Amino acid sequence: MKLRVMARLIEIQRVLVRHGLDEFVRETHLYRPLRFVFLASPWTWLERRKQAPRGERLRLALEELGPIFIKFGQALSTRRDLLPPDIAVELAKLQDRVPPFDNATARAIIEKSLGKPVTEAFATFEEQPLAAASIAQVHAATLPAAGSASGAASGTASGAPAQPGAEVIVKVLRPGMRDVISRDLEVMHELARLAKANSAEARRLRVDEIVDEYEKTILDELDLMREAANASQLKRNFEGSSLLHVPAVYWDLCRVDVMVMERIRGVTISDMDTLRAKGTNIAMLAQNGVKIFFTQVFRHNFFHADMHPGNIFVLVDDPANPRYAAIDFGIVGTLDLRDQHYLAENFLAVFDRDYRRVAELHVQSGWVPPDTRVDEMESAIRTVLEPIFDRPLKDISFGTILLRLFDISRRFDMRIQPQLILLQKTLLNIEGLGRDLYPELDIWQTAAPILREWMSDRISPRAQLKHIRRNLPDILTSLHALPSLIKVAVQQAEDGKLALGVRSEEIAALRREMQESEQRRNRTLIGTALGFGSLLWIGFGLPPDIVGWLLLLAAAVVLWRARRS
């Protein structure tokens, strides 16, 4: 284990003990003996005399441990139904109330990135940040007025002219984030390696691949130009839609560690008291949230994958028709077309209570082994899903469902699909938001029509013609090249030189396995020959030269077999 990784593990232990979270330390098997060093330390016991409530201690520990741990707390905070109330309340503070870094550092980063003073880039700039999160913090500002020296440089807002004097937010990446995250990713990779080497369950869950996927996701968040591009794409996808508003991007003021966007003035989705006081149509809001999710995943195949309450606002200019507004587009997801197809088929089969079809789809997609008994899996899925149909969210115990699904996954050796982790995380966020927002929501009745419409559009004649038109240039190019390819193939066939190459990972793996098996057999033969020669020499007292000839003959046989193989 690398010294850097070991030092970080020790630091994690120390933070947990210092905040009185001993139960976590006791569960840390990989380096449990080290806990006694900290438990015996005088400062540990001094800290214990002034302990805060457990929820606050857990939040403070996550904040001290850094961005990856804060994001873990954010994800947990969206599932209040799975957490004790005191912990849920404290973890919710991680959504947008992480301690900010100092204003002078933020200003210096902005000026270095933009190449000009803040006073020149913006007409006004608020030193005190509006909000601070694990990766970055945001400051309120306004663009220069028309005709000012810097007004012409204010850029464009996602294709539209920048509005002089417009209210904007300036997002600034926390300093030193890349080094901090790189160190914690090393720890995660090491823990995944150890878990995979020592646990069959970890191998089934493919923890190493999950960490690989998470690494790509978290590193993408460190590039604010990428986030700006994600926002622009999402805005185009919902252009003219009454479901979701996405803030405009001011490209001329965006850099890798600084991003400027339109300021959103709305009510945070978690502020239910304000939403009710304004007469917001909560039922419509909840239904629209489900529509947005399925529209992003299936119609657009581009979804916001960090939908915790701190990133979702509600525009209530018209309370009877509320509209969502999203921010923070650092994490977005897309699906492989094959995965998208299987997911849609699975959802529709669940909506139709066709549990056998769900089991068949899991086998066809390779999510479970090919020899899985479909009838047994069908029965297991029915046992989990049948009790929750036609029930609102408030009557569904999601914790119980999760435990039952984990049991099914273990029983049928269901492999985790790392490429779907972001989608599963987003689905959990959406379900948690819906539960807090409108517990009476019937997710089945809301989601089914959206998915059926998408499936119908997907196989419609118009969609098929669009697909053909999109691929027509490639088809024509292939047709132009076809005569010459056929001519070459025919000529090679006449000359007896035509060879059909078959390349397959499975064939390559089989070849390696055969070679390794042959090598093991050869080693066994050599060992047997040596052992036999020794027995002849000792047991029968044969002269050494005869024994040598016998051994040489055995070695020649082994070499001959190896050459033939």
* Catalytic (active-site) positions: 306
Whether the CB-CB separation of 257 and 173 falls below 8 Å is answered with yes
Helix, strand or coil, per DSSP, at residue 154: coil
Query: What is the rounded CA–CA span in Å between residue 485 and residue 492?
Result: 11
Which residues lie closer than 8 Å to 65 by C-beta, 6 or more apart? 12, 15
Neighbouring-strand partners of residue 172: 137, 258
Query: What is the rounded CA–CA span in Å between residue 382 and residue 356?
Result: 9
Q: At 450, list the tokens.
A: 């959206």
DSSP per residue, 16-31: HHHTT-HHHHHT--TT
Q: Residue 306 class from Cβ within 10 Å (0-12 exposed, 13-18 middle, 19+ buried)?
A: buried
Helix, strand or coil, per DSSP, at residue 105: helix
End-to-end CA distance of the chain: 40
Whether the CB-CB separation of 440 and 394 falls below 8 Å is answered with yes
Q: At 169, list the tokens.
A: 């937010």
Query: What distance separates the 2 farthest-apart alpha carbons in the chain?
Result: 110
Helix, strand or coil, per DSSP, at residue 119: helix
Which residues lie closer than 8 Å to 134 by C-beta, 6 or more apart? 66, 67, 68, 70, 71, 74, 94, 98, 174
Query: What is the rounded CA–CA span in Å between residue 22 and residue 391?
Result: 40
Task: List b or e across 191-227, with b for residues whose CB sees 16 or more CB atoms inside 10 angstroms.
Answer: bbeebbeeeeebeebbbbbbbbbbeebbeebbbbebb
Q: Rounded to 5 degrees, what are φ and ψ at 124?
A: -135, 150
